[in-house]
């Protein structure tokens, strides 16, 4: 009997020692999990860790981390942000995490630890945040670390209403975000929701959106490139402006950036958008990135249900595109280079030149490893009709030297593109571009002269389409849809299966041109005494 009591006492003592020591052991394991979280934080492209300290106790611990937004991140975004937001982003943020470790810390489900993180801001940033959130905490962060090392993290940003005497108003409806992560953060899933935001910019206009929903899945790849998928959905976006907005798009510079071709400024649209309102319904954007050995395959989708602009209604829009057989090493090198360039605060021209050079050096393998670019779907319902385009482009055997010469690139480029565009849209595009070139004096006819020019441009486009249809380069159906198939193979262009030959310019005949001049000279000579 006494022996049994001794055994029972020893077992009870062992259990008590185990229960007493378990919180300390789980505290060690919780610290390991938080160290993995710190490593992930240090890898982000927009944050840098300036200070980290961990004070471990028996039943609870305290972790203090000071982070700051990287200069490269600020250089790329701060010009588009209000001064108050810039101030907040420039100041350090202190994360104080209160860690409770124990088998049943804070819940009946066995865990390593429960972590509540407090965000502390500098006095300058705190003063600005109080204007928006008042006495509310700007953000609350909670992390549950399970026994396996996996866990769940939640972030909440409360709603607020803000108003200035100038007439600026903000109605923010709050944000909730949740992350489920595996041990070591080798993969994680996030889900973020925000009911909406409304901004009234005094008498300038207003902007609002509702129903923001973002889901992502991220996992480690074998090529140091994060893989996974994401999906963003927005129920509605509306923009309204009360004054005309001028625009001047340098499309020729974009073409030069991508192709190294100088085409002049003919395609540059410019003008002024009159006061109006835009309402966009059911916007969606999705991406998917995977790997196959040393190759990266990426897909993207974009679309919306309806776009209301003034009295016109556009949509639905559906775009699906993909890039296959991308060299992972080159993609990673180009990513690092672009991050480096963002931190150098270059002017627009210098940055453009640096990006082109990076594509030809760090990103060279993206072009020389036979990539395939697909536009699987582009369907856009417009007031003039349906635009329907799909096709693909492949580079075969490109070399570094080919990248310096457009003709060499074309010889190793294979492309197929099927397209169908409303004739009315082509005419309207030509008319709008012509308005950027021609100016009409009020004394020379004013609006009537402009109408004549518009009608002339439409007739020119219609005549060109009819001629190309007769020559077999394209088709026109009964609904006025112009369609063709464009093929580029071995430096040869075909339209609708027929080799395209541009009409040559009329030859200059010196004999014919010199005859009148010779006659004039002879007459002048005979008239001289």
Choose among 356, 390, 394: nearest CA to 259. Answer: 356
Task: Supply the pLDDT for residue 20.
Answer: 61
- The residues near 502 (Cβ < 8 Å, ≥ 6 apart) are none
The position carrying tokens 């990673």 is: 332
Which structure tokens are listed for 87? 């101030």
The position carrying tokens 């942000």 is: 81
Task: Supply the pLDDT for residue 232.
Answer: 96
- The residues near 258 (Cβ < 8 Å, ≥ 6 apart) are none
Task: Supply the pLDDT for residue 77.
Answer: 65
- For residues 224 and 53, what is the distance between their CA atoms, to the nearest angstrom? 28
Task: Supply the pLDDT for residue 233.
Answer: 97
CA dihedral 372, 376, 382, 386 (to 10 degrees): 120
- Domain ranges for the chain: 19-160, 221-411, 416-500
The position carrying tokens 């197929």 is: 416
Task: Supply the pLDDT for residue 510.
Answer: 47
Which structure tokens are listed for 217? 């899945």
Residue 294: strand pairing partners: none
- For residues 190 and 219, what is the distance between their CA atoms, to the nearest angstrom? 12
- The residues near 374 (Cβ < 8 Å, ≥ 6 apart) are 321, 322, 323, 324, 391, 392
Question: Residue 401 carries which DSSP code?
Answer: T
- The residues near 444 (Cβ < 8 Å, ≥ 6 apart) are none
Residue 321: strand pairing partners: 300, 375
**pLDDT digits (tens), the chain, 529 positions:** 556 666 565 566 555 555 566 788 888 888 899 988 888 887 777 788 899 999 989 889 999 999 998 877 776 666 667 778 888 888 999 999 999 988 878 777 889 999 999 999 999 999 999 999 999 999 999 999 999 999 999 999 999 999 888 888 999 999 999 999 999 889 999 999 999 999 998 888 899 999 999 999 999 899 988 899 999 999 999 998 877 656 555 555 544 544 444 444 445 555 555 657 899 999 999 999 999 999 999 999 999 999 998 888 999 999 999 999 999 999 999 888 887 787 777 777 888 888 888 888 898 899 899 999 999 999 999 999 999 999 999 999 988 888 878 788 888 999 999 999 999 999 988 887 776 665 544 445 566 777 888 888 889 999 999 999 999 999 999 999 999 999 998 888 999 999 987 655 455 444 444 444 444 444 444 444 3
Give how far the C-alpha of residue 176 lies from the chain's centroid of Cα atoms, to the nearest Å: 23
Query: Residue 459 in 3-state DSSP?
Result: helix
Query: Residue 67 in 3-state DSSP?
Result: strand
The position carrying tokens 């150098």 is: 344
- For residues 328 and 54, what is the distance between their CA atoms, to the nearest angstrom? 37
The answer to whether 237 and 283 have CB atoms below 8 angstroms apart is: yes
C-beta contacts of 167-174 below 8 A and 24+ residues apart: 167/200, 167/201, 167/202, 167/203, 168/199, 168/200, 168/201, 168/202, 169/198, 169/199, 169/200, 170/132, 170/197, 170/198, 170/199, 170/200, 171/197, 171/198, 171/199, 172/132, 172/197, 173/197
- Whole-Å CA distances, 120 to 46, 113, 304, 379: 19, 22, 40, 49
> Buried b vs exposed e over 64-90: b needs ≥16 C-beta within 10 Å?
ebbbbbbebbbebebeeeeeeeeebbe
């Amino acid at each position: 009997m006494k022996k049994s009591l001794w055994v029972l006492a020893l077992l009870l003592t062992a259990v008590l020692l185990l229960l007493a020591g378990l919180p300390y052991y789980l505290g060690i394991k919780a610290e390991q999990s938080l160290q993995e979280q710190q490593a992930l934080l240090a890898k982000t492209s927009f944050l840098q860790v300036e200070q980290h300290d961990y004070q471990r106790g028996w039943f609870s611990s305290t972790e203090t981390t000071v982070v700051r937004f990287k200069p490269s991140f600020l250089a790329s975004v701060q010009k588009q942000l209000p001064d108050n937001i810039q101030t907040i982003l420039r100041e350090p943020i202190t994360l104080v995490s209160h860690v409770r470790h124990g088998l049943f810390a804070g819940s009946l489900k066995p865990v390593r630890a429960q972590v509540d993180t407090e965000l502390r801001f500098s006095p300058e940033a705190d003063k600005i945040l109080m204007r928006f959130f008042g006495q509310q905490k700007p953000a609350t962060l909670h992390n549950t670390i399970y026994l396996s090392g996996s866990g769940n993290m939640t972030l909440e940003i409360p709603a607020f209403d803000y108003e200035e005497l100038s007439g600026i108003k903000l109605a923010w409806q709050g944000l909730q975000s949740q992350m489920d992560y595996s041990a070591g953060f080798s993969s994680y899933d996030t889900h973020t929701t925000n009911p909406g935001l409304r901004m009234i910019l005094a008498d300038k206009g207003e902007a609002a959106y509702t129903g923001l929903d973002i889901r992502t899945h991220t996992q480690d790849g074998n090529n140091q490139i994060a893989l996974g998928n994401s999906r963003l959905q927005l129920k509605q976006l509306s923009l309204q402006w009360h004054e005309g907005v001028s625009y001047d798009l340098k499309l020729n510079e974009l073409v030069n950036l991508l192709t190294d071709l100088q085409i002049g400024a003919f395609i540059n649209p410019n003008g002024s958008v009159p006061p109006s309102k835009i309402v966009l319904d059911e916007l969606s954007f999705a991406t998917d990135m995977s790997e196959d050995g040393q190759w990266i395959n990426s897909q993207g989708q974009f679309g919306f249900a309806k776009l209301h602009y003034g009295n016109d209604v556009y949509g639905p829009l559906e775009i699906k595109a993909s890039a296959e057989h991308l060299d992972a090493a080159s993609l990673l090198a180009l990513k690092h280079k672009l991050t480096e360039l963002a931190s150098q605060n270059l002017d627009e021209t210098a940055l453009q030149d640096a990006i082109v050079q990076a594509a030809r050096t760090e990103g060279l393998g993206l072009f020389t490893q036979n990539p395939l670019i697909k536009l699987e779907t582009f369907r856009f319902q417009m007031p003039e009709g349906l635009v329907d385009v799909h096709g693909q482009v492949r580079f075969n055997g490109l070399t570094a030297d080919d990248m310096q010469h457009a003709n060499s690139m074309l010889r190793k480029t294979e492309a197929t593109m099927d397209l169908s565009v409303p004739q009315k849209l082509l005419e309207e595009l030509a008319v709008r571009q012509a308005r950027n070139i021609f100016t009409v004096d009020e004394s020379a006819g004013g609006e009537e002269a402009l109408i004549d020019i518009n009608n002339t441009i439409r007739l020119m486009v219609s005549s060109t389409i009819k001629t190309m249809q007769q020559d077999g380069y394209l088709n026109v159906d009964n609904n006025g849809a112009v369609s063709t198939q464009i093929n580029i193979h071995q430096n040869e262009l075909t339209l609708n299966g027929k080799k395209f030959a541009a009409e040559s310019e009329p030859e200059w005949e010196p004999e014919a041109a010199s005859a009148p001049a010779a006659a004039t000279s002879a007459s002048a000579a005979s008239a001289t005494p």
